[in-house]
């Protein structure tokens, strides 16, 4: 028996020796990694990662610092081009045949068989180490032959984390979130940061964006404004420590930390001391705020010299105009320069200018003579993922920015149409990155989390303890990072690559890994296609996965339709209302149609289910997560069928608008019933698996339902709404059949509320031929009966164009101020409230159109009515520059039925069929 054991031991030893010999080196041998004496933290970090990987396969690794490479064997030399260490090896090195660019590297064997990693710069050397480590992990050995040169396509490859929350803090407005342990406990979790930063470097990301409305009051203390700090002394010190820790750890990994901030937001203690609002979009630039902001930026740059800035000029200050240019050139850039001067730094750190809600090309033209190291950034598909074939004015803006900026960055933003279900379509993502380059000319990627941005670091999955986004959405980060490095990879090879990755994760074979990839890619077409063909907006005021009301499908303009999505962020095609009109008029269709998409998403859902079920029986690892992934495929399928049936129903409803034939509505009914049934399936699939559908749970959410105080965030809350809609439709059909004609709606005129106007404006009574401006003869031609007799405020349009509209008044009871916006875009018309560009656009409940096409003034487009709610007291309504109408005041309790008055000549209102 003893001899048998010796025999087995000898066999195993021989097998181990043979395996080691096949790997090219004795696994018990020592291996030395040599790095330069004057090495950077990035080279040291990369060498450490490589050493750890080598130790895992049995090597005894030692890292030493030298200026000359040793002549001994079993050495890996790591350095940068032209440093002393690599110069000492030059005569002995084997050239790879190509030269690497910025952040690039080459890996080759020298003539003495020592392995050399040469980086163009420290980041290149780091990435060379990571590349070799990946090769070793994949093969279990050092490569016997290698001659590789590589470099990234994109200059900046970044992810972002929001220091923001799903809802507002008490007494705060949107974006106002000081850095505190109570609000952001995860910010102080060093282990979590290390996990995230390691994920970033493994996927070759080189920039991390931190989003916050006004971070300076949590990170710097100003001599002139010490009272502006928003956190206590203990927290302030913690913030300093964490920010230094984060930036140092990021720098080791070749990651540039970029702090984002909005304009113009001021801290609450500062605002209270000076009797100011923390945010006031229509407030002109005042010297006090400009001085505070400039000094805050200067102090930040001096204190954290290796941290960049991302500036959002729009959103919290009034739209596009000279103020944007002045604020950037007279406050922000001077602040950065002040900080550099105080720190004795000559090299300009990059400033990223966000193009959102500003004329970025104009700002860049004015700024480049003052500051050279400027970048631009703009959303890829708005706040969603809809297409890899962007076009129109949005693509033109990107190209314009790419032409004017040294580096232009494409921002994959919010992803409101993807959350909360898992997304991992390598095909869609690869084509999107290719589009950034070919169509936009972008050389940078700025990537948001796949879902749950407002609830970082957690997912919406109903799991205890909460699941981390960095764990669940690993494939999201890996795919974007892989293609930001090289988007031109062969598609067939990529199928094999991702098949192996997924097979490894779930402990299955290559065929099943490819099936899982196929499920990701089939399901990955559903949300983009649904939103771009049926949606109201590409912004996060719409939660696509919660569904849409029938009125949103048949009357989208009522809900503030964001037409740019159809014109630029979708292939050429038709909206539902366009398709229905063409069908009635027997006209030909153009491009992608609603019917086509209804068919396609159903097929995608079926194929995703077939693929995921084909792989399910072979899964042996991470089975709980696979079950959740599989359930998501069923969710996608149910959602696709819900939309498909509802859209088919909507087309019959719209046909009734033209035919006035009740039989068309009868054909719509069973389709709508099917839609509700599929939605009930979706509720069952999500009820025990998801906490919510949308991570933003504030009043900004509008579609399908207005979300306030975390309401209408789950599918189970929406099912009664869709059921009620169906029941109302049935009753409407019965009513029409019994009456034999369309339903007449009688609306009583609004009653004037008792309001005293305190500003210097006159009034007029709404009626035919009433003059609406003090400095124009324009008269009312037509109006909806509800407005008849209202006491409107007569404004001077020249003043509206020059300085905006300000109306001061007092009221003893809460009131609604009815404001009329002309429903055509133009430089002279005040833009209606729009949450896509203005986060404060619903602070007074004003973002939704109450009465569409309610009034017509000679020489002007029809007017849409919005309502601003004010509590009792002395109040001020402040609006931006542009012509609009103040149509009167009504009691806040007076009911306002939302409808289309139809004075645009586009046909009758049929929303009443469903509400």
* Cβ proximity of 853 and 901 under 8 Å: yes
- Asked if pLDDT for residue 14 goes beyond 70, the answer is no
Q: How confident is the model at residue 709 (pLDDT cuts 50, 70, 90)?
A: confident
What is the structure's pLDDT at 98? 75
Cβ neighbours of residue 895 closer than 8 Å, sequence gap 6 or more: none
Percent of the chain with pLDDT over 90: 80
pLDDT of residue 23: 37
Tell me if 409 sits within 8 A of 260, measured CB to CB: no
pLDDT at 509 over 60: yes
Residue 542 Cα distances to 414, 539, 726, 832, angstroms: 11, 6, 21, 18
Residue 385 CA, distance from chain mean position = 9
pLDDT at 313 over 90: no
Provide the percentage of residues in the chain whose pLDDT is more than 70.
Answer: 94
Tell me the C-alpha distance between 768 and 887, whole Å: 14
Q: What is the pLDDT of residue 148?
A: 94
Helix or strand holding residue 493 (H, E): helix 491-506
Would you state the pLDDT for residue 99?
83
Read off the pLDDT of each residue in 778-798 and give the average, rounded to a whole number: 93
Determine the pLDDT at residue 47: 97
Rounded to whole angstroms, how far apart are CA atoms 145 and 560? 61
Nearest CA to 380 out of 332, 421, 327, 417 is that of 417
| 752-764 mean pLDDT | 94
Q: What DSSP letter does each residue of 779-805 carry, written as one string?
A: BEEEE-GGGTT-EEEEB-HHHHHHH-E
Q: Alpha-carbon distance 421 to 424, whole Å?
A: 10
Residue 416 has pLDDT above 90, yes or no: yes
Residue 82 neighbours by CB under 8 Å, 6+ apart: none
CA 37/CA 804 separation, integer angstroms: 63
Provide the pLDDT for residue 898: 82
Q: How does residue 94 score in pLDDT terms, banded at 50, 70 and 90?
A: low
Q: Which two tokens stand for residue 259?
A: 């702090």
The average pLDDT across 165-190 equals 94
Distances (CA, A) of 78 to 131, 250, 480, 629, 659: 13, 20, 28, 41, 77
Residue 760 pLDDT more than 90? no
In 623-714, where does DSSP find H-type helix? 623-659, 662-687
Residue, of 209 and 1, whose pLDDT is higher? 209
98-131 pLDDT tens trace? 788 999 999 999 888 889 999 999 999 999 999 9
Q: What is the mean pLDDT of residues 840-850?
A: 87
Measuring CA to CA, which residue among 539, 643, 662, 629 is closest to residue 600? 643
Q: Which residues fall within 8 angstroms of residue 368, CB to CB, at 6 or more apart? A: 374, 404
Residue among 214, 220, 260, 213 at smallest CA distance from 236: 220
* Distance between CA atoms of residues 26 and 74, nearest Å: 10
Q: Please state the separation of Cα 546 from the chain's center in Å.
A: 18
What are the tens digits of pLDDT across the range 156-170?
999 999 999 999 999
pLDDT score of 28 more than 80: no
Q: How far is CA 720 from CA 244, 680, 712, 716, 734, in A?
A: 50, 10, 11, 8, 21
Q: What integer pLDDT is reported at residue 525 of this predicted model?
A: 98
The single-letter DSSP state of residue 544 is G
CB 687 within 8 A of CB 638: no
42-69 average pLDDT score: 95
Of the pLDDT bands very low, low, confident and very high (cuts 50, 70, 90), residue 740 is low
Q: How far apart are CA 627 and CA 423, in angstroms?
A: 15
Report, as an integer, the average pLDDT of 55-75.
92
Report residue 314's pLDDT band, with 50, 70 and 90 as the boundaries: confident
- Name 762's bridge partners: 794
Averaging pLDDT over each range in 12-16, 776-780, 900-904, which range is the top one? 776-780
Let me know: does 114 contact 76? Beta carbons within 8 Å.
yes
What mean pLDDT, rounded, does the chain reach? 92
Going by pLDDT thresholds of 50, 70 and 90, the confidence category of residue 317 is low
* 711-731 pLDDT tens trace: 999 999 999 999 999 999 999
CA–CA distance, 41 with 306 (Å, rounded to integer) = 14
pLDDT at 665 over 50: yes
Structure confidence at residue 430 (pLDDT) = 98
- The whole-angstrom separation of Cα 267 and Cα 808 is 26
Instruction: Label residue 3 by pLDDT band (50, 70, 90).
Output: very low
pLDDT for the residue numbered 318? 64
pLDDT, tens digit, for every residue of 795-829? 999 999 999 999 999 999 999 999 999 988 888 99
Q: Give the whole-angstrom CA distance, residue 583 versus residue 651.
A: 9
pLDDT at 741: 53
For residues 303-332, average pLDDT: 85
CA angle 690, 691, 697 (to 5 degrees): 130
Strands 147-150 and 105-109: antiparallel
């Amino acid at each position: 028996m003893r001899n048998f054991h010796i025999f087995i031991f000898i066999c195993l030893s021989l097998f181990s020796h043979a395996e080691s010999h096949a790997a090219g080196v004795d696994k018990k041998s020592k291996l030395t990694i040599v790095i330069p004496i004057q090495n950077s933290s990035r080279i040291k970090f990369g060498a450490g990662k490589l050493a750890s990987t080598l130790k895992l396969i049995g090597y005894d690794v030692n890292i030493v610092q030298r200026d000359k490479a040793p002549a001994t064997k079993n050495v890996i030399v790591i350095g940068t081009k032209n440093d002393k260490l690599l110069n000492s090896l030059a005569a002995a090195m084997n050239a790879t045949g190509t030269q690497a660019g910025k952040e690039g590297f080459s890996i080759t064997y020298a003539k003495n068989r020592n392995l050399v990693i040469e980086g163009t710069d420290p980041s290149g050397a780091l990435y060379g180490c990571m590349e070799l480590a990946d090769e070793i992990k994949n093969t279990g050995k050092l490569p016997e032959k290698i001659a590789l040169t590589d470099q990234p396509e994109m200059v900046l490859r970044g992810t972002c984390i929001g220091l923001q929350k799903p809802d507002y803090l008490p007494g705060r407005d949107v974006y106002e979130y000081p850095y505190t342990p109570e609000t952001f406990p995860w910010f102080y979790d060093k282990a979590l940061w290390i996990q995230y930063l390691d994920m970033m470097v493994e996927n070759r990301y080189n920039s991390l964006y931190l989003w916050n409305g006004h971070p300076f009051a949590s990170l710097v203390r100003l001599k002139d404004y010490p009272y502006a700090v928003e956190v206590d002394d203990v927290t302030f010190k913690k913030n300093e420590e964490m920010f230094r820790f984060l930036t140092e750890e990021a720098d080791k990994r070749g990651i540039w930390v970029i702090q984002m901030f909005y304009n113009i937001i001021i801290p609450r203690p500062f605002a209270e001391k000076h009797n100011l609002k923390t945010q006031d979009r229509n407030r002109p630039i005042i010297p006090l705020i400009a001085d505070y902001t400039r000094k805050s930026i200067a102090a930040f740059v001096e204190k954290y010299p290796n941290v960049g800035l991302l500036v959002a000029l729009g959103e919290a200050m009034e739209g596009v105009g000279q103020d944007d240019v002045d604020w950037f050139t007279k406050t922000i850039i001077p602040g950065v320069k002040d900080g550099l001067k105080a720190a004795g730094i000559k090299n300009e750190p990059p400033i990223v200018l966000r193009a959102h809600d500003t004329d970025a090309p104009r700002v860049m033209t004015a700024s480049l003579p003052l500051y050279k190291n400027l970048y631009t950034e703009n959303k890829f598909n708005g706040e969603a993922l809809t297409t890899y074939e962007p076009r129109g004015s949005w693509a033109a803006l990107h190209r314009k920015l790419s032409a004017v900026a040294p580096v232009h960055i494409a921002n994959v933003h919010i992803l409101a149409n993807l959350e909360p279900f898992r997304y991992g379509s390598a095909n869609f993502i690869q084509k999107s990155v290719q589009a950034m380059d070919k169509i936009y000319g972008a050389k940078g990627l700025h990537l948001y989390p796949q879902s749950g941005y407002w609830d970082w670091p957690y997912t919406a999955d109903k799991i205890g303890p909460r699941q981390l986004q960095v764990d669940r959405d690993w494939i999201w980060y890996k795919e974007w990072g892989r293609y930001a490095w090289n988007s031109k990879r062969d598609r067939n090879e990529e199928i094999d690559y991702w098949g192996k990755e997924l097979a490894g994760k779930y402990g299955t074979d290559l065929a099943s890994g490819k099936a899982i990839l196929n499920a990701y890619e089939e399901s990955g077409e559903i949300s983009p296609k649904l939103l771009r063909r049926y949606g109201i907006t590409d912004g996060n005021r719409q939660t696509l996965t919660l569904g849409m009301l029938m009125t949103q499908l048949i009357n989208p303009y009522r809900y503030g339709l964001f037409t740019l999505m159809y014109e630029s962020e979708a292939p050429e095609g038709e909206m539902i209302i366009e398709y229905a009109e063409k069908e009635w008029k027997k006209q030909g269709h153009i491009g992608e149609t609603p019917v086509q998409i209804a068919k396609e998403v159903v097929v995608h859902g079926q194929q995703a289910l077939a693929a995921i079920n084909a792989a399910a029986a072979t899964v042996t690892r991470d089975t709980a997560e696979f079950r959740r992934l599989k359930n998501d495929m069923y969710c996608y399928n149910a959602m696709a069928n819900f939309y498909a049936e509802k859209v088919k129903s909507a087309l019959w409803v719209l046909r009734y608008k033209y035919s006035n034939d009740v039989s068309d509505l009868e054909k719509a009914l069973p389709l709508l019933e099917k839609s509700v049934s599929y939605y009930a399936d979706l509720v069952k699939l999500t009820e025990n698996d998801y906490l919510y559908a949308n991570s933003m749970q504030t009043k900004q959410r509008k579609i399908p339902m207005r979300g306030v105080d975390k309401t209408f965030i789950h599918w189970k809350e929406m099912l009664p709404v869709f059921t009620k809609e169906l029941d109302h439709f049935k009753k409407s059909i019965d009513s029409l059949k019994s009456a034999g004609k369309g339903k007449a709606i009688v609306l009583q005129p609004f009653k004037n509320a008792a309001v005293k106007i305190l500003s210097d404006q006159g009034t007029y009574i709404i009626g035919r031929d009433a003059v609406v401006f003090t400095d124009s003869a324009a008269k009312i031609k037509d109006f909806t009966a509800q407005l008849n007799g209202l006491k409107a405020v007569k404004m001077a349009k020249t003043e509206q164009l020059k300085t905006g509209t300000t109306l001061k008044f007092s009221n003893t009871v809460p009131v609604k101020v009815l404001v009329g916006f002309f429903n055509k875009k133009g430089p002279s018309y005040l833009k209606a409230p729009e949450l896509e560009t203005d986060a404060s656009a619903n602070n007074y409940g004003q973002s939704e159109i109450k009465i569409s096409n309610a009034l017509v003034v000679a020489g002007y487009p029809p007017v849409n009515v919005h309502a601003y709610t004010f509590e009792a007291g002395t109040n001020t309504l402040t609006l931006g520059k542009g012509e609009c109408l103040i149509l009167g005041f009504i009691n806040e309790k007076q009911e306002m039925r939302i409808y289309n008055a139809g004075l645009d000549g586009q046909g009758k209102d049929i929303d009443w069929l469903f509400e």
